[in-house]
């Protein structure tokens, strides 16, 4: 336990190790720790930002979905309306066509009837004259009688 | 061992000393056998405590210096290796451990020191880790390394450098000189003298002030000098006492095992605490230099 030159030797060693630590140990370690701190701070900030971005993207998606749904609804309504319209139009057209056809048929029928009646009327006159000739056995004054017959035929 | 208890204890408490024995010194070996009378001053290894004493100041404790330098190198190599390969990404286990120590020291420094000084944090780290390593040697069973040394023909081997007052006092004195250096650097010579002469008692009256100067000087000088002495002796005393108890426990035979275990567990706390106290007081002393009265 004597006090001796070990005192000096250890002092030199002490100062050397302190110098060494100050030069080669402490600065790189603290620099690295600061760097890590910065990295973590950046990472947390990025995570925050990403979260915010996600939230805004989500709300945007919701907005877009709502719009799309509304649009689809509109399109469906329009289509329904158009379909109804088309059906209505077709019905009207069909009815009109039917009416037209019916009218044409009626006109033809009337025409045919008239034509048959005219023909019949003409033949009735001849037949009546012929019948009357046969009954009377002689020729009648054809001109005087034909007027009579025509009157008769007009009455038919 | 065939030695008596006293010899055993003395053997364990003696450093391996290298120095110069004066001419006419009568050398005897550890068992009292006469060896030779020196005809001229001789540089040699001391074989007995008496020889170590006769070597005077210009002798060196080879074992203390060896273990202290070795452990200092372990610290320097380990920490600079980690520092060089340190990544700010995901750290490995070793880097994690080193980082924890560095951050612990950094926190301690920031808590008590608010000035600007590039030295103080690395100084604190060196002190903490190095003293911890030196104290840690205390947990190696007391007979292992000295026993091996005896087999190798080395007469003494004290493996815990911090049980050598030379080691602890040289560190505390170095801290003391650093403290004086920064004191003068920060406040100038006048500030340094002023701090010593005008506090703690001061007066607005010039005459009273002059009368108080010697009292202040006396008080401040004593308290200033007490700092390195108490700093070094505290560490030495604690480690020396711990070592002594390990030696005493080692003498009681096989029943020592539970005792040894208990004391070692307690000592884990003591060695860490003493390293921490030395570091904290260093920081406190150095930061007191930066404070304005």
Could you report the per-residue pLDDT of A66-125, keeping only the tens digit for each?
999 999 999 999 999 999 999 999 999 999 999 999 999 999 999 999 999 888 888 888
For residue B122, give the nearest of A4, A25, A33 by CB distance.
A25
pLDDT for res B8 = 85
Structural tokens at position B279: 């570091």
Chain A / chain B CB contacts < 8 angstroms: 130
- CB atoms A9 and B60 under 8 Å: yes
In a mutagenesis test of the B interface, which of A29, A33, A43 is the best target, namely the one with the most B β-carbons within 10 Å?
A29
- CB atoms A32 and B87 under 8 Å: yes
Cα–Cα dist B146/A130, whole Å: 175
User: Measured between CB atoms, does A35 come within 8 Å of chain B?
Assistant: yes
What ranges in chain A are assigned the alpha helix state H?
A: 6-20, 26-136, 142-155
Cα–Cα dist B29/B45, whole Å: 12
Q: What percent of chain A is modeled with pLDDT above 90?
A: 71
pLDDT for res B203 = 78
Low-confidence ranges of chain B (pLDDT < 70): 1-3, 293
Minimal CA–CA distance to A21: which of B120, B126, B96, B78? B126
Q: Which residue has the tokens 């002092």?
A: A11
Contacts of B83 in chain A (CB under 8 A): 24-26, 28-29, 32
Cα–Cα dist A39/A46, whole Å: 10
| Predicted TM-score (pTM) of this structure | 0.77
B38 near B27, Cβ under 8 Å?
yes
Q: Which residue has the tokens 């998606």?
A: A61
Parallel, antiparallel or unpaired: strands B59-61 and B26-28: unpaired
B138 near B267, Cβ under 8 Å?
yes
- Quickly state the pLDDT bin for A142 (edges 50, 70, 90): low
pLDDT for res A1 = 66
Sign of CA dihedral B278, B279, B283, B286: positive
- CB atoms A29 and B87 under 8 Å: no
ipTM of the complex: 0.90
């Amino acid at each position: 336990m004597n006090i001796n030159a070990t005192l000096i030797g250890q002092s030199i060693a002490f100062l050397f190790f302190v110098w060494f630590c100050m030069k080669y140990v402490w600065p790189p370690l603290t620099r690295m720790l600061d760097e890590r701190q910065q990295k973590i701070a950046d990472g947390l900030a990025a995570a925050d930002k990403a979260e915010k971005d996600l939230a805004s993207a989500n709300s945007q998606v919701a907005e877009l979905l709502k719009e799309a749904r509304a649009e689809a609804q509109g399109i469906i309504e329009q289509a329904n309306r158009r379909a109804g319209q088309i059906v209505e139009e077709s019905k009207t057209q069909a009815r009109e066509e039917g009416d037209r056809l019916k009218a044409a048929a009626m006109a033809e029928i009337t025409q045919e009837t008239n034509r048959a009646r005219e023909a019949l009327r003409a033949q009735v006159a001849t037949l009546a004259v012929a019948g009357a000739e046969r009954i009377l056995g002689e020729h009648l004054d054809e001109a005087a009688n034909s007027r009579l017959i025509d009157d008769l035929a007009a009455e038919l | 061992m065939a030695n008596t208890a006293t010899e055993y204890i003395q053997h364990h408490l003696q450093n391996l000393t290298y120095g110069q024995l004066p001419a006419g010194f009568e050398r005897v070996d550890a068992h009292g056998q006469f060896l030779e009378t020196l005809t001229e001053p001789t540089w040699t290894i001391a074989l007995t405590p008496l020889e170590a004493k006769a070597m005077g100041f210009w002798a060196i404790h080879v074992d203390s210096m060896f273990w202290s330098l070795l452990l200092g190198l372990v610290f320097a190599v380990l920490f600079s290796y980690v520092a060089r390969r340190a990544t700010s990404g995901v750290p490995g286990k070793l880097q994690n451990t080193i980082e924890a120590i560095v951050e612990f020291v950094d926190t301690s420094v920031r808590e008590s020191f608010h000035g600007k000084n590039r030295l103080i944090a690395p100084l604190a780290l060196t002190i903490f880790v190095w003293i911890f390593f030196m104290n840690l040697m205390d947990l190696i069973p007391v007979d292992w390394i000295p026993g091996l040394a005896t087999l190798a023909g080395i007469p003494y081997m004290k493996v815990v450098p911090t049980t050598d007052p030379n080691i602890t006092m040289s560190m505390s004195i170095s801290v003391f000189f650093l403290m004086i250096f920064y004191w003068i650097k920060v406040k100038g010579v006048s500030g340094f003298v002023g701090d010593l002469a005008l506090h703690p008692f001061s007066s607005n009256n010039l005459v009273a002030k002059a009368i108080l100067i010697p009292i202040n000087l006396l008080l401040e000088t004593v308290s200033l000098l007490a700092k390195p002495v108490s700093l070094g002796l505290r560490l030495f005393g604690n480690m020396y006492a711990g070592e002594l108890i390990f030696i005493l426990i080692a003498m009681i035979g096989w029943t020592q095992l539970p005792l040894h275990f208990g004391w070692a567990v307690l000592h884990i706390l003591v060695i860490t605490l003493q390293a921490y106290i030395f570091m904290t007081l260093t920081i406190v002393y150095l930061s007191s230099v930066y404070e304005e009265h």
